[in-house]
Each structure stands twice: as structure tokens, then as C-alpha cells.
Amino acid sequence: MSQLTIDHLLAVLQRLRLSWARRSLAALFIFLVAGSLCRAQQGESGFQYEDPESNLEQMSQLAGLTPLLNRLKELNKPGDSGRTLQALYARQQILEKVMGASLQVDATIARVEGEIAQANEYRNLLSDKRDRVANRLNLAGFAAGGALGVVSSALQLSAKHAKAGNSVGIGAGVIVTVISAMNLRAQNGKTSSFTFRSNMLAPFLHRQTESVDVYSPAVLGFFDAVPVADPEHLTRKQRLLKTWLQVGRISDLNTPKGQNKIDRLTEVSTGGVQENIDDLSDRGAMLEDLRAKLALMKRDLAAVLMTLPQGEPAADQ
């Protein structure tokens, strides 16, 4: 939402015959909505720059289709039935290359989805443990506060035991406060080491990949390429890193804090660093962004097929 739009809405509010309180509430609502829109724009992941029509030539080059497409256009001239078989062969080669590239993308998506499932499973495991601890603390606080509160009230019924009742009441308050503090601390959950079968974020975070985490040349080229409509001329990999920095998934990679975070996000063995619920949530969210980008590559491959020239039927002899 631009500043001009905000100023216009505020001017409209001034002209309306509303009370000062209602105008204040309406103005506060406008600023909250504007702030939410600004944060959403700052956290954009570049999907609005992925126009399939503008990326047609780029995708053709990445998939090695450009020579075949040019050849098909030359062979697909109307009235030239002698080239029909050559055109069919060129079309078949294009379809095979597109199918091969699409299957490579599917294989990469399968690895990403497997890691997402693992991250979600481990996160749910830690969340369940955290919830059990929180429930026990809540029950302990309720029992301690309720029981001691009843004892305190009963003692205060007698003037002789009023001081003792006050002491019990104070003790109950201290116990409840301590349990509440323990409950707040438990909300972060515990940390643990987990084993992951893959490490698909490693190439994007400058970490060594596992032997099974191999990206095909076409997929790597797709992420290293700059979308034609990107105003900042960032590659898809750079756009993902920028988005993750903006939304707080990762910290500055040049700081010890950022490097420590990357170590936790790309850990695959049980002998490494400890991961918590937030780390697993960030890992899953980043992998989902990666999966969405890969889906755009399949969309662009389909767009290339849609641009194939239609063959002219051969004339009857």
C-alpha cells in the first residue's frame, strides 16, 4: 500500500462526520493493514516475477531445446510435405528432452518432500513432548494454587491463625509464579539430534551435499538463472536467500550466529548439533519454498511445449 493511498484514506476520514474516537480507530486500522501489506511485500519470495511467457527463451536454453525448436520452425513451413518426417523426429526429440527434464524435477521434488516429511515428524515429536511438560506444569500450578488457596482461606477464618493463613497464601503465590515461569520456559521445547536422509538445502546455504542430494544440471541452471522480470536481477537462488533473511528463517551468513543457524538447518547425522522446534519449522518452511520454485520449472517446461508450432497435414496425392 503506497503512501499516497494511505494519505487519501486519511483525508476521506477527515471529511466523514465521525466522532474523534471512531476516526482514531479507523486510522489505526488503516495503519495496521498498511503495515501488514508492507511486511508481506518485504517477505516476497519472487514468485510474482516468474512469468512463464517471459521465461520461455531461458527455459528453452536450460533444457537444451533451443536448437531443436529452431529446427522445427524451419521444417514446419506450410506446403513443404517432404520435411514432415524430419519435423516429426524433431518434435519427438523435443518431447523426450522435456519429459527427461520434467522427470528430473520430479525426482528432486520427491527428495525435498521426503525431507519436509522428516522435519515435520521430528517437529511434531518435540512439540508433543513440550505439550506434555506444559500440561503437567499447568496441572501442578492449578493443584498447588487451588489447594494452598483453600488452606489459606480456611486459616484466615480464625483470627488466631490469620497470620499463618497469610503466610500460606504468600507461599501459594510464590509456587504458582515459579511454575508459571517454568511453563513459559518450557514453551520453547527441548532440543535433540535427528538423522535426516537428505540435505537439500545444502547447495543454497554453502554446505556440502550428501551423495544422494544431487541436483541435475538443468535444475541447478534454473536456480542460477535470473528471471527476466526480476527488477533486482537476482538469481532464483539469491531471491530465496534474500527472502529467508527477510522473514527471519536465517541470519546473516557472515556472522557466527548465522553460521550456527546454517549448521542446524543442514545437519543430517545424530552426532551433530542439537535442533529445536524453531529450527525444524524453519527447515520445513525453507524446503517448501524450494519445492514451490521447482514446481515453477515444471510450469515453464509445459509453457515451452505449448509454443510448439502445429504441424501442417500433408496434401493428398
| CA pair distance 204, 235, nearest whole angstrom | 12
Helical residues (DSSP H) of the chain, grouped into ranges: 3-15, 20-42, 56-62, 66-75, 84-156, 162-186, 217-224, 236-246, 256-265, 277-306
Band of residue 13 on the pLDDT scale cut at 50, 70, 90: very low
Q: Which residue has the cell 527472502?
A: 243
| CA pair distance 115, 268, nearest whole angstrom | 10
Q: What is the pLDDT of residue 272?
A: 62
Full-model pTM: 0.71
Band of residue 212 on the pLDDT scale cut at 50, 70, 90: low
What is the tens place of the pLDDT at every residue in 14-47?
544 445 445 454 444 444 444 444 443 444 555 5
Which of 34-38, 120-124, 193-197, 267-271 is modeled with the greatest confidence?
120-124
Band of residue 192 on the pLDDT scale cut at 50, 70, 90: confident
What is the tens place of the pLDDT at every residue in 156-191?
777 777 777 777 777 777 787 887 777 777 777 777
Q: What is the pLDDT of residue 165?
A: 73
And the C-alpha cell for 88? 516429426
Q: What is the pLDDT of residue 289?
A: 92
Among candidate residues 46, 101, 77, the one with its CA nearest the CA of residue 304:
101
Band of residue 315 on the pLDDT scale cut at 50, 70, 90: very low
And the C-alpha cell for 148? 494452598
| CA pair distance 98, 63, nearest whole angstrom | 7
- DSSP result, 61-120: HHTT-HHHHHHHHHH--TT-GGGHHHHHHHHHHHHHHHHHHHHHHHHHHHHHHHHHHHHH
Q: What is the pLDDT of residue 48?
A: 59
And the C-alpha cell for 278? 524453531
* Average pLDDT, rounded, for the chain: 76
Band of residue 223 on the pLDDT scale cut at 50, 70, 90: very high
